[in-house]
Chains A and B, each alone.
Chain A
């Protein structure tokens, strides 16, 4: 059956809440409206206003009260409505959500799953298309994941909610309507492992979240040129499954990392550093990064020039063949 990523996420939330009555879903507009993207659709009808509730408009409070609720014994799944609005909650996430376990020498656990629709490509207004993942990946104590397809969206959401560590769950909003033939519920797979989304022999393309589909498009187009691309879907950005990436690069000898976020100190920089540390003698070419630019996210009419697409990936692939 073809399901969209939005449906898969919604189903995952329904199933998780069914299984564990300590799970609470809250945020702005998640109740009656079912979320602006309908990811929390019908949850309130099913589980009531005590477990699925709309909050006042205040991101720091959404995360800060999630921390208190988790300390009390609930498993909160708060929603930040858009990536660009996660910044008011930055302090609560970085100084408290991520650190309280460490600060308490392991006495506290914070099973909080922060859902953040992220990334561009939907023609949105300013502050609705950002890729803030580096901030979270850089913060010890958090897990950061981003699914690349509906099946993974289901599986990873269930894994994130089941995790006793805080998880930043980045939902690639431009892929909410992406369909996949999959029977839900899918069998859950550990969310901290990368997978080979497309096997190939010439170049490893590492991607996550919204760029997995783009990378797969590039792999398909590359076949026309007789280039064989291997696409690694990272799935988890923190922890990072370096093993899978490095194994792939050892096989192909070339590596392109793809993400929407700006290039400098992006996830690609970390992947490149790890690959050159661990697979230096296997590399036939420098590791390239097909990313967004080091500029603010552009206005919607210009985002197609900013966001990496299959062509940008293929240009880097071609460049890597020059070595």
Chain B
């Protein structure tokens, strides 16, 4: 249904009954019933389905619609993610990448979240979403051009509905909201997922994105990976809110929380937000509680701001170990499966390595090729200038 039919103006939105206000003619100036607003609040505890030892707990509000094959796939994606992430760090150490932002420890948050999306849905990632890319079958080598410095980006966003990685913090949330608004205007039943981190919740753009998405009832899910640190700044220096998910209420959308190291809980919570959005019930924000096990980027020194004890503790929540234990409890684990997954991870990592190792810098003249659809006339002169410099240097430098 087009948003206008729902009543685009905030005051006429039908989903929330109006309360009687102080306004003399009793015409309410408030959008959301103050009691109804409480239903948007996140639960006190994040949704959690898997214990660290793999024991599964049903959750009444979040029934799991997954089959055994899904459990195996979720595990497979997480292992592949960890492997390609490790390989990317190796590539950086070998001087193949200028820098890399690891997602080690965040595999469940990324994989569980992305797994809840349909094929036609869209992802607007930050620069740390290698796990989401793996689930979307995006060529991970293509993503690494950003870090290698060959191209600013090198994948076709329309191929797997995976937008370009964004480095400015949280800015991509607005692109996600806008894309979702487009889907809404067009009656297209897709959902758009905008990823950002705990640090981004302090930036302006995610706020504007959530506000726009809520006002226009856009099918957008804002997925916050709370990995506890924005480079060196811990959560308590990032926000004074009870939780990040509480912020959602201020925009009139539900704030959901999940154990982001629990791939099943992350999936279940995201799935609900995605279905809700797809039905036309508007956006939601998910806070997935996780922990960044690696440095912010390969250029960072995390020993300056966190302790080995803290890391040791975080390791006890490892999402892959937990899923493995779950699969064992369900009798889904076998040595053959493990070998198959390891081999797949190895081959994916190798494929990525082959795709980026010694990747050429390309034609310097391509500098001018993709700036404008309709390039300015004086580009010819600047291009010719570079051409002459290259010729003088004896060919393509």
Contacts and interface: CB of A to CB of B under 8 A. Distances in A.
Interface of A: 24, 48-50, 53, 55-56, 58, 60-61, 63-74, 88, 91-92, 95-96, 99-109, 140-141, 143, 163-165, 192, 238-240, 242-243
Interface string B150-188: 011110111000011010100101111111111101100
Given A58-B211, A68-B177, A96-B175, 5 more contacts: A65-B177, A65-B212, A100-B164, A107-B157, A240-B378
B371 interface: yes
B182 A72 contact: yes
Contact of B211 (A56, A104, A143): A56
B8 A56 contact: no
Contacts of A55: 212, 215
Contact of B372 (A73, A96, A141, A240): A141
B372 to A, nearest CB: 5
Interface stretch (B81-89, B202-210, B269-277, B288-296): B202-210
B373 A239 contact: no
B182 A74 contact: yes
A58 B378 CA distance: 35
B370 A101 contact: yes
B386 interface: no
Contacts of B179: 68-69, 71-72
B369 A68 contact: no
Interface string B359-372: 00000001001111
30 contacts: A50-B2, A56-B215, A58-B212, A60-B208, A61-B174, A64-B174, A64-B175, A65-B174, A65-B175, A65-B177, A65-B212, A68-B179, A68-B182, A69-B182, A71-B175, A91-B168, A91-B205, A92-B174, A96-B171, A101-B373, A104-B156, A104-B370, A105-B152, A105-B154, A106-B370, A108-B157, A108-B164, A164-B374, A165-B373, A240-B378
A50 B3 contact: yes
Given A68-B181, A69-B182, A140-B371, A103 B152 contact: yes
Contacts of B164: 100, 103-104, 108
A67 B175 contact: yes
A112 to B, nearest CB: 10
Contact of B182 (A73, A100, A140, A242): A73
Contact of A95 (B8, B168, B378): B168
Contacts of B372: 101, 141, 143, 165
Given A50-B4, A104-B164, A107-B158, A91 B371 contact: no
B377 interface: yes
The 7 closest A-B pairs by CB, nearest first: A68-B178, A64-B174, A239-B376, A72-B182, A65-B178, A61-B208, A68-B179
Contacts of B192: 68
Nearest to B178: A68
B212 to A, nearest CB: 5
Interface in B345-397: 366, 369-374, 376-378
Contacts of A239: 376-378
Given A68-B179, A100-B164, A141-B371, A91 B152 contact: no
B199 to A, nearest CB: 16
Contacts of A92: 171, 174, 205
B181 A69 contact: yes
Interface residues of B, number: 48
A99 B152 contact: yes
Nearest to A103: B152
A95 B2 contact: no
Count chain A CB atoms within 10 A of each CB in B154, B173, B176, B374 and give the residue with the most. Answer: B374
Contacts of B163: 71
B182 A107 contact: no
A102 B177 contact: no
A307 to B, nearest CB: 29
B204 A60 contact: yes
B135 to A, nearest CB: 20
Contacts of B124: 68
Contact of A60 (B174, B183, B215): B174
A165 B374 CA distance: 7
A71 B166 CA distance: 15
A36 to B, nearest CB: 19
Nearest to B175: A68
Contact of A104 (B153, B182, B183, B204): B153
Contact of B371 (A53, A65, A101, A163): A101
Contacts of A109: 373
Given A50-B3, A64-B171, A95-B168, A71 B369 contact: no
A191 to B, nearest CB: 10
A80 to B, nearest CB: 14
Contacts of A65: 174-175, 177-178, 181, 209, 212
A174 B272 CA distance: 52
A68 B205 CA distance: 13
A67 B174 contact: yes
A64 B209 contact: yes
A11 B186 CA distance: 26
B376 A103 contact: no
B51 to A, nearest CB: 39
Nearest to B158: A107
A242 B164 CA distance: 35
B338 to A, nearest CB: 38
Given A69-B182, A106-B370, A58 B175 contact: no
